């Protein structure tokens, strides 16, 4: 009835106005609250994004790292103040980051890394795919903020990270392969040469994980979460395989659905005693 009364009153107002009678234009009613935090930053949006649903630990760390280095470059910019120029400067700074860092560069900020990389143009830089991951992470949080009302619809805002990604050569997407010298360093350590098992390397994991990575090409997070039951004989191909699969209840995730697969064990792994290691109790 209240709606009908307002409708009748509106029609009467229209009739009076068409007859030339003076009529004040009613003010629009306030629908909900239009207040928002104009100073909301990417860090604040990240906290909301993180609480929205369960996220993979690796994704959380990757996104948090991206926001951290963006803030190192530009400071705690409010979301509404992030422009395409900021996104471009972020991309260009990342492109100057050296691929391998040691000494004082290990804990250097993004501006420091970019400056050092710019001064040493011949040093290999991080891959385009790594740059794009950082851009994508920051972009995802900014868009989440807009989609969830931290940046209201009535505010003029467009995605500053749109079309900022670098072109990637699919053939080298995984990064440059290890050189022979790199492999000699890895497999020349006391773990392989002297049978050492450092506590920080989780015992036998320090020995088997590098070998599994070398002979399977699987990601380290996929290999480190394997259980003994994930190694079994396949009648289909006639040899033992590693079964890489997601287990949500156990918190085991894969990068994509297509990542679920089985990988035949290389004969060198079997010859070096991997099946014996798997079959031993308490391993």
**Is residue 152 a contact partner of residue 38, using CB atoms and an 8 Å limit?**
no
| Residues near 173 by beta carbon (within 8 Å), at least 6 away in sequence | 129
Higher-confidence position of 73 and 171: 73
pLDDT of residue 217: 86
Q: What is residue 248's predicted lDDT score, i.e. its pLDDT?
A: 60
Determine the pLDDT at residue 174: 47
Per-residue pLDDT band at 26 (split at 50, 70, 90): low
Find the range with the poorest average confidence among 38-47, 147-156, 198-207, 253-262: 253-262
Residue 122 tokens read as 């011949």
Of residues 225, 74, 58, 230, the one with CA closest to residue 142: 74
**If you average pLDDT over residues 139-166, what whole number do you get?**
87
Specify the higher pLDDT residue, 28 or 123: 123
pLDDT attached to residue 136: 94
Which tokens in the block code for residue 227?
């259980």
String of b and e for 89-123 (b: at least 16 CB within 10 Å)? ebbebbbbbbeebeeeeeebebeebbebbeeeeee
Burial of 48-58, coded b for 16+ CB within 10 Å and e otherwise, reads ebeeeeeeeee
Higher-pLDDT residue of 203, 176: 203
Average pLDDT, the chain: 84
């Amino acid at each position: 009835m209240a709606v009908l009364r307002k409708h009748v009153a509106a029609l009467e107002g229209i009739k009076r106005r068409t007859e030339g009678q003076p009529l004040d234009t009613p003010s629009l009613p306030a629908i909900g609250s239009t207040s928002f935090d104009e100073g909301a930053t990417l860090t604040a949006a990240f906290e909301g994004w993180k609480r929205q649903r369960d996220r993979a630990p690796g994704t959380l760390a990757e996104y948090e790292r991206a926001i951290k280095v963006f803030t190192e470059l530009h400071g705690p910019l409010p979301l509404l103040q992030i422009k395409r120029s900021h996104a471009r400067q972020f991309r260009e700074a990342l492109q100057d980051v050296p691929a391998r860092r040691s000494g004082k560069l290990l804990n250097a900020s993004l501006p420091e890394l970019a400056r050092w990389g710019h001064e040493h143009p011949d040093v290999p830089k991080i891959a385009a795919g790594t740059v794009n991951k950082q851009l994508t992470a920051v972009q995802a949080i900014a868009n989440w903020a807009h989609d969830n009302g931290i940046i209201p619809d009535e505010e003029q805002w467009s995605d500053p990270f749109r079309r900022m990604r670098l072109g990637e050569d699919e053939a080298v997407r995984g990064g440059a392969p290890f050189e022979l010298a790199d492999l000699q360093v890895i497999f020349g350590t006391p773990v392989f040469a002297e049978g050492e098992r450092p506590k920080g390397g989780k015992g036998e994991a320090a020995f088997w994980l590098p070998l599994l990575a070398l002979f399977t090409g699987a990601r380290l997070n996929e290999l480190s979460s394997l259980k003994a039951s994930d190694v079994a004989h396949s009648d289909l191909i006639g040899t033992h395989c590693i079964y890489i699969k997601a287990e949500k209840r156990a918190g085991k995730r894969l990068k994509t659905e297509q990542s679920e697969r089985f990988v035949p064990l290389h004969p060198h792994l079997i010859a070096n005693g991997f099946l014996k290691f798997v079959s031993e109790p308490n391993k």
